[in-house]
Structure 1
Amino acid sequence: MEDHQNSTPNAIGLCLLPSELMQNIFLSLVLPEIIRLKLVSKSFSHLISDHTFVRECNSRSTSTAWLFVYKKRWLRDAVLHAFTDRSNRWFRIPITELLKPIHFHCEDLYFLTASGNVFLFASNTVRLVVAVNLVTMTVKKIPPSPLGPRGTSSWRRSGMKLVTGPPGSDHFRFMFAELVDNRPVLFVYNSVTDKWNTMEAQEARGRHVDERLFLNVVNGPRESVVVACTPECDAQPVIVRPRLEGGGVGEGEMRVGFSLGHVTDRLHVYGDGYMMIVKSESGRKKRVLKGIEMWGVGEEGREWEYISRVPSELMKKIERGYGVMMGCLEERNGVIRASLVSNWEGLWDIVWISFDKSRKEWAWIPLPDCNMKNYNLSGISFSSGITLP
């Protein structure tokens, strides 16, 4: 994880401080900065590797939310950019060297999703998914699923989920849901066994579906088909079919996940059992973002229940014109985080908003410029729980 500033003079000065004071200073930093410091000197590495420091650092890092954006011109320039509300700048994470052992025939990759230290990338030509651990600097090929090799267009963000753990390990489960013979089926890859497991979902039949993971199979204008499962995948997954009554923020054409500004009135973004409805209006040459509502799957999974609308004062801050827009959405520990990425004449713009369900409060995280002009956006994802080994 790069930082272009010269840290040598500061490192010499820090080494003269008591170790306890140095630890307190390091703990005020975010994890990419700590990982970089570990490479500066042996004394820093020894201090950061101390069990007490690792435990305290990981305790703080577990609750830190990150937004990752993958942009590239060519595979040799592949860069992951990371931002957290604990900092005021983007962190640049080159991944080209990490991926060299995997032969992609000079092909560009797509960033699927992330959780903890694990990041998934997909290749369209060789139809391969790889897991990259950015802390241990390791790469793992994931064998083809029972459905066979898949191109990047087959992976739907709201239909897949990556779960890492237990804490302190590099284990993970990657799951996705698809229709097979018109029946929703859950596919689960376990990194421990290096194998896939297939589980056919059953109708929920009025059962409560709280404390589960939600993977969208079908997203329609009025009804969705969603598979709900436990994070451990140790119980039969169930099917819920939430319906949307009333149409949300407005009627008109609807797109799911990706909006072409000149034809779309509403953009629906799904994730973790929630749905964000984005309302736009026509401008002179482009569309303008005008309203956002958040909905969630009801307790019995029969309907989308209204949660909240972004206040008008906040909408004025994030209102912007665009030609193309897409979004991602996640829920963690009672906070729903959403990002909207828009493009107008080659210029990219990113919005990060969140809704705290217990406090019933919206928040806007201002983002500095990510310098994405003339780059391709090849994936965006939230993540939490990055930890030191």
Structure 2
Amino acid sequence: MESDHRSFSTALGFCLLPSELIQYIILQLALPDIIHLKIVNKSIASILSDQDFVRDYNLHTSSANWLFIYKKRWHRDAILYGITDCCSTRWFKILIAEMLKSTVPPGEDLYFLTASGNFFLFALNTSREVILVNPVSRTVKKIPPSPLGPRGTSSWRRSGMKLLSYPPGSNEFRFIFAEVHQNRPTLFEYDSRVDTWHVKEATEEMLNSFCGLKRVNEYHFLSAYNGLEGSVIIAVRSPDEAPLVFRPRFPQGGEVGGQLGFDWGNLIDRLHVYGDGNMMIIRSNSVISVANKRLRVVKGVELLSMSSNGGQWNFISSVPSEIIDKIKKPYGAMMGCLQQRNGKVRGVLMSNMEGVWDIIWLCYDIGKENWTWLPLPEYCNMKSSNMAGIAFSSGLTLS
């Protein structure tokens, strides 16, 4: 009771501040905190519903980059965690369990696929369905089965799909994913406006004036296939245009490319992470622990990108040794994801060591040709948790 009284007094004192100051303070908060403020009292709720304030807040947060992780220990203990590069000192909890009760059967196994703004996409492993969750509007929507039919969680590839607001900032969305279907690179696209799937075969077109296809602002790049000799990547822009297919290959057909700063080495000690027409190669050394277990330690990370004509993987840069020295820790397993946005390539690596997870966030500024490492705080109850999905996303919005 005393704690409730203290919280009420604090909230009351906050509401007595001048409205301009209240708006300024709220503008500095991340959306999960703002959602909690809505229930404090009517005056704060009215500020949050003002369209001018909503526009200002959305503009203020438009450049933020979020990393979301879906953690679960039991089916009843599943939480979506988020952290932003604008406030990297704490993790935010996004509670979605109550929202899912009416849609997800008890005991269903959820896997977090991808996110964009306020949209979060999950796959249901048992029923093999896909649902979209919007924690701001508190809505859950089942997406009809794709033309490929129901799919288990292992069928979805992180680098081969995207969730897009359409148009940006609206409550409508597009879910697109790429596959090599019947030996043909194919784009599958769901449009929420018409609640329908479309299937489009990608056009085999090599553009000498590719120039990145103005990749930052216009095109999205999806990995349909990645192999030892090269990749199949589909580039897509608007729903009205035919997607394009590119086949970047490694120099010399995948042979040693020492002049580019990487080599094939032992496949077991090399991890490839793809995303947005880029690739990170994480190279590790094998070590034996005191318990006589085979572990790995990161010894180098290289960034490659698709060439200007889309025909080759080109070496871009290596993570400096001083950063490698800070992030290298023994691990047993590792996964990651990669995103390019606003002139920067961001990669996150999640490693597990005997049930304990470690997260590495790396960023490469393309214009400045500079690497940075974003140290992240630990968060509670990570040991023995099942990490059921990870994704980068753009900033959360109030609408």
The TM tier, using the shorter chain, reads over 0.9
Q: CA deviation at 1:100?
A: 0.7
Between the aligned partners of 2:264 and 2:157, the Cα distance in structure 1 is: 25
CA RMSD in angstroms comes to 1.6
How do 1:133-282 residues align onto structure 2 when only pairs under 5 Å count?
A: 133-207=134-208, 208=210, 209-210=212-213, 211=215, 212-230=219-237, 232-245=238-251, 246=257, 249-254=262-267, 264-282=268-286
Q: CA deviation at 1:10?
A: 2.4
Q: Tell me whether 8-17 or 139-148 shows the greater mean CA deviation.
A: 8-17
Between the aligned partners of 2:91 and 2:113, the Cα distance in structure 1 is: 20
SS in 1 for 2:90: coil
Between the aligned partners of 2:9 and 2:152, the Cα distance in structure 1 is: 48
Give aligned pairs, total: 376
- Whether the 8 Å CA contact 2:109–2:126 is kept in 1: the answer is no
- Whether the 8 Å CA contact 1:265–1:281 is kept in 2: the answer is yes
- Whether the 8 Å CA contact 1:90–1:368 is kept in 2: the answer is yes
- Whether the 8 Å CA contact 1:269–1:277 is kept in 2: the answer is yes
> Where does residue 254 of structure 2 map in the other structure?
none
| 1:235-280 deviations in Å (ceiling 9; x for gaps) | 11111110112165332233xxxxxxxxx22100000100000010
> Where does residue 324 of structure 1 map in the other structure?
333
TM-score (normalised: structure 2)? 0.91
SS in 1 for 2:45: helix
Between the aligned partners of 1:277 and 1:136, the Cα distance in structure 2 is: 39
SS in 2 for 1:13: helix
The residue identity in structure 2 corresponding to 1:25 is: I
SS in 1 for 2:97: coil
> Where does residue 260 of structure 1 map in the other structure?
none
Between the aligned partners of 2:72 and 2:8, the Cα distance in structure 1 is: 30
SS in 1 for 2:98: coil
Q: CA deviation at 1:7?
A: 4.2
> Where does residue 77 of structure 1 map in the other structure?
77
1:283 to 287, 293, 317: 287
Between the aligned partners of 2:139 and 2:365, the Cα distance in structure 1 is: 35
Between the aligned partners of 1:301 and 1:78, the Cα distance in structure 2 is: 41
Between the aligned partners of 1:162 and 1:14, the Cα distance in structure 2 is: 38
The residue identity in structure 2 corresponding to 1:367 is: L
Identity of aligned residues (%): 54
Between the aligned partners of 1:324 and 1:197, the Cα distance in structure 2 is: 37
How do 1:1-389 residues align onto structure 2 when only pairs under 5 Å count?
A: 7-87=7-87, 88-207=89-208, 208=210, 209-210=212-213, 211=215, 212-230=219-237, 232-245=238-251, 246=257, 249-254=262-267, 264-285=268-289, 286-371=295-380, 372-389=382-399
Between the aligned partners of 1:46 and 1:68, the Cα distance in structure 2 is: 29
Q: CA deviation at 1:130?
A: 0.2
Between the aligned partners of 1:180 and 1:381, the Cα distance in structure 2 is: 25
| 1:200-255 deviations in Å (ceiling 9; x for gaps) | 0121233515122111111112211111111x23211111110112165332233x
Higher percent of residues as helix: 2
Between the aligned partners of 1:233 and 1:354, the Cα distance in structure 2 is: 30
| 1:367-389 deviations in Å (ceiling 9; x for gaps) | 11123112100000010131112
| 1:121-151 deviations in Å (ceiling 9; x for gaps) | 0011101000001110100000000111111
